[in-house]
Amino acid sequence: SLKRAVDRNRVKRLVRESFRCNFDTIPTVDIVIMGETKLASMDNAVILQQLDMLWVRLNEYYGSTDTLSKQTPPNHKTDYRV
């Protein structure tokens, strides 16, 4: 787990941004992201690349979903946590 709040907040911000950019391609499933200590030393671009690969893997595993049934993304301050 990430020990410093500044590291946790940076990872949260990157996950939220990646989620917003890929919302239309992510299957409708509950997602929990657990950060490892090594995330603190990773560059933002590397973390975003890892998240992009995660979204692809989720899509391959769960298949693509009907985009018409998707709702707007949740309010990031109240509806989901990272």
- 10 against 79, higher pLDDT: 10
Nearest residue to 38 via CA among 28, 25, 26, 47: 47
DSSP 12-81: HHHHHHHHHHHGGGS-S--------GGGGGS-HHHHHHHHHHHHHHHHHHH----GGG--PPPPTTTS--
Cα separation, 33 vs 76, whole angstroms: 14
> Given this model, what pLDDT does residue 79 score?
41
User: If DSSP codes are grouped into helix, strand and coil, which group holds residue 10?
Assistant: helix
Average pLDDT over residues 50-78: 69
Q: Indicate the pLDDT class of residue 66, thresholds 50, 70 and 90.
A: low
Q: Indicate the pLDDT class of residue 69, thresholds 50, 70 and 90.
A: very low
Cα separation, 10 vs 1, whole angstroms: 13
Write out pLDDT tens, residues 26-52: 888 898 988 889 999 999 999 999 999
Structure-block tokens of residue 64: 């693509």
